[in-house]
Structure 1
Amino acid sequence: MNQAEPGQATIRIKNLRLRTYIGINDEEKQKLQDVIINVLIRYRVRSAIQHNDIDHALNYRTINKAIINHVEGGRFLLLERMASEVLALAMEDPMVCFAQVEIDKPHALRFADSVSITLCDRRD
């Protein structure tokens, strides 16, 4: 599912920069670190187009706020766990057909800009 299917819209939340506790080392557990989150969501858009009403559209602002609150209020050992939890937030609304989450941890490795993980899910 690399492309939106007919009747689907794609929403992207790009480069959401947050600070959280992420890592397995003692230093990482004690110090807030930057993460960069990118979310791609595909949802059934026909009702929103037909009604031209926010009540029939996917409210990406609500999803964004939920991600911010969850990540900034959480503590994570693994990027995999954080990505899984963010993905679950993106998939919460039944209108969502597909979601993909990529989370970068800048400067996690020497000589690398960042390390990232990507997870996706879809509703049949």
Structure 2
Amino acid sequence: MGMIRINNLRFHTFNGVLPEERRNGQQLGLDIAIKYPIETKVQHDDVHETINYAAVRNVVDEFVTTHSYKLIESLANHLLQTLLTSFPAADAINIKIRKYSVPMPGIFDDVEIEVEGTPNGK
């Protein structure tokens, strides 16, 4: 099965539980992986035979920059549903979201959540 990936899209967002997170914002990184049968669907070097990753990026950008949640889990779930609706030809879509500025003690790079779904219950 083919896979279309967009790795480490970065956005400055205003998601978070704490008031300062929602006021000051922080950077999120997103990985989008789309399962799509490239091997059988893309036969004529035509962008209409595939899922256009520029279009995926536009949907992600529009969604992430116009929505704000307390939980990145909620952001991930709603973004997943938006992508599944926007790209029903996908066999599955996986989203990873990394939050870099997490207000908790300890030494770590980021916190990451991951969701995956299929359009129309495929």
TM range (shorter): 0.7 to 0.9
Q: Which amino acid aligns with 2:118?
A: R
Partner of 1:118: 114
Question: In the alignment, is residue 101 of structure 1 matched against residue 95 of structure 2?
Answer: yes
Q: Which amino acid aligns with 1:78?
A: L
Between the two proteins, the alignment pairs up a number of residues equal to 116
TM-score, with length taken from structure 1:
0.85
CA RMSD of aligned residues (A): 1.4
Partner of 1:87: 80
2-structure distance, mates of 1:58, 1:96: 8
- The alignment-based identity, stated in percent, is 24
Q: Which of 57, 62, 65 is the matching residue for 2:58?
A: 65
Secondary structure of 1:35's counterpart equals strand
Higher helix share: 2
4+ residue segments displaced more than 4 Å:
none
Q: Which moved more, 1:83-92 or 1:59-68?
A: 83-92
1-structure distance, mates of 2:115, 2:41: 28
2-structure distance, mates of 1:118, 1:47: 27
Secondary structure of 1:15's counterpart equals strand
Secondary structure of 1:52's counterpart equals coil
Question: In the alignment, is residue 54 of structure 1 matched against residue 47 of structure 2?
Answer: yes
Mind listing any 5+ residue stretches in structure 2 that lack a counterpart?
none
Secondary structure of 2:64's counterpart equals helix
- Provide Cα deviations, 1:14-63, integer angstroms capped at 9, x if missing partner: 010111111111111111210000111111332322x3211121111101
TM-score, with length taken from structure 2:
0.86
Mind listing any 5+ residue stretches in structure 1 that lack a counterpart?
none
